[in-house]
């Protein structure tokens, strides 16, 4: 363990006593949801529906895991696809430099597979013309439809190090079905990241036009799943470090 990693671990462990910071972070999450703060950002021009803190967390995970495939449920404007693809591109570049090789993106096996029930034509056009698009494949359909699950499994069969991100419909039953279908694709040492588990911690009336809310959301689904799947552990340290995140308990690490 490097000095930096140890220092961060010790500092983050002490945050349990940082009542003022914890309250400020939780107040911010509460206050920033309805003003749609997470809709304000883009990555290489594509809108990404994320808090910047969670983007950094995903970058750390990608750098640690070095996946050759990232499977994502929920594309929207394609921001997270482009973001993850660009981090994979940087990973390829750094590995090539370390090995003294020239960089040939066409030779890279590292790819992103995104699934969305509704890939809007204008989004598809923008994603497909983006310089990162050569690393991206997309499937349109419900992430819990048997034929889509099979397509994703067939695609993933050629890959060894797989990272899974679930960010589509946020009801308990939907996320649980996604976990049953896709969490097993997660390679040992990698993660299944479950977005929007924060819904459990927000007031009942925060999402008046959505079917999810406290008691019925990604966190209740992942708790249910993890209880029956000891091969996954909740990486508590990641959320403790972020504090501002839509993924409390949502960083599931595959440990066996
Ligand atoms: C929060 S957005 C995804 C944001 C994106 N990951 C990002 O970071 O920019 C949720 C997406 O899930 C999609 N979605 C909703 N229900 C779905 C389903 N049953 N299967 C697949 N995608 C679904 C929606 O169409 C929407 O584009």
Q: What's the pLDDT score for residue 104? A: 76
The pTM score is 0.97
Q: What's the pLDDT score for residue 189? A: 98
pLDDT band at 201 (very low <50, low <70, confident <90, very high): very high
pLDDT band at 101 (very low <50, low <70, confident <90, very high): confident
The residue-averaged pLDDT of 45-56 equals 98
Q: What percent of the chain clears pLDDT 90, i.e. is strictly above it?
A: 93
Least confident of 16-30, 89-103, 129-143, 180-194: 89-103
pLDDT band at 160 (very low <50, low <70, confident <90, very high): very high
Q: Ligand 1 test: best mutation among 58, 114, 116, 179, most atoms within 8 Å of CB?
A: 116
Q: What's the pLDDT score for residue 54? A: 98
Pocket of ligand 1, beta carbon within 6 A: 48-50, 73-77, 79-80, 115-118, 142-143, 167-169
User: What does the mean pLDDT of the chain come to?
Assistant: 96
For atom 27 of ligand 1, which residue has the closest CA? 76
- Domain hosting residue 146, numbered range: 2-254
* Cα 73 to ligand 1 centroid, rounded to whole Å: 6
The residue-averaged pLDDT of 28-49 equals 97
* Cα 96 to ligand 1 centroid, rounded to whole Å: 34
* Cα 160 to ligand 1 centroid, rounded to whole Å: 25
Q: What's the pLDDT score for residue 107? A: 76
- Which of 204, 247, 245, 198 is CA-nearest to residue 25? 245
- Which of 48, 199, 52 is CA-nearest to residue 114? 48
Q: Ligand 1 test: best mutation among 76, 113, 120, 148, most atoms within 8 Å of CB?
A: 76
Better pLDDT: 181 or 2: 181
Residue 166's SS3 state is strand
* Cα 75 to ligand 1 centroid, rounded to whole Å: 5
Phi/psi of residue 46, nearest 5 degrees: -90, 130
Total domains in the fold of the chain: 1
- Which of 147, 223, 213, 214 is CA-nearest to residue 179? 223
pLDDT above 80: residue 103: no
* Cα 170 to ligand 1 centroid, rounded to whole Å: 9
The residue-averaged pLDDT of 169-176 equals 98
Better pLDDT: 1 or 187: 187
pLDDT band at 108 (very low <50, low <70, confident <90, very high): confident
Domain holding 47: CATH number?
3.40.50.150
Count CB atoms within 10 A of the CB of residue 196: 24
pLDDT above 90: residue 251: yes
* Cα 116 to ligand 1 centroid, rounded to whole Å: 6
Euclidean distance between CA atoms 52 and 83, whole angstroms: 11
The residue-averaged pLDDT of 74-102 equals 95
Q: Ligand 1 test: best mutation among 44, 71, 117, most atoms within 8 Å of CB?
A: 117
Euclidean distance between CA atoms 166 and 256, whole angstroms: 20
Degrees, nearest 5: CA angle 132-239-35: 70
């Amino acid at each position: 363990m490097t000095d930096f990693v140890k220092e961060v671990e010790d500092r983050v462990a002490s945050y349990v006593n940082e009542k003022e910071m914890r309250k400020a972070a939780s107040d911010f999450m509460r206050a920033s949801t309805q003003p749609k703060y997470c809709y304000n950002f883009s990555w290489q021009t594509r809108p990404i529906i994320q808090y910047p803190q969670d983007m950094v967390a995903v970058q750390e995970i990608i750098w640690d895991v070095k996946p050759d495939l990232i499977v994502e449920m929920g594309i929207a404007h394609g921001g997270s696809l482009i973001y993850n693809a660009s981090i994979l591109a940087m990973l390829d570049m750094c590995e090539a430099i370390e090995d003294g090789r020239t960089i040939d993106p066409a030779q890279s096996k590292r790819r992103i597979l995104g699934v969305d029930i509704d890939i809007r034509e204008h989004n598809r056009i923008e994603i497909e013309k983006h310089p990162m698009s050569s690393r991206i494949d997309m499937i349109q359909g419900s992430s819990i439809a048997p034929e889509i699950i099979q397509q994703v499994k067939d695609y993933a069969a050629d890959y060894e190090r797989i990272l899974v991100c679930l960010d589509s419909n946020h009801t308990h039953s939907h996320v649980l079905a996604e976990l049953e279908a896709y969490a097993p694709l997660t390679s040992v040492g990698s993660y299944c990241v479950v977005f929007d588990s924060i819904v459990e911690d927000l007031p009942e009336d925060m999402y008046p036009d959505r079917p999810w809310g406290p008691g019925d959301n990604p966190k209740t689904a992942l708790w249910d799943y993890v209880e029956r799947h000891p091969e996954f552990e909740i990486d508590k340290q990641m959320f403790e470090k972020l504090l501002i995140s839509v993924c409390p308990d949502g960083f599931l690490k595959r440990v066996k």
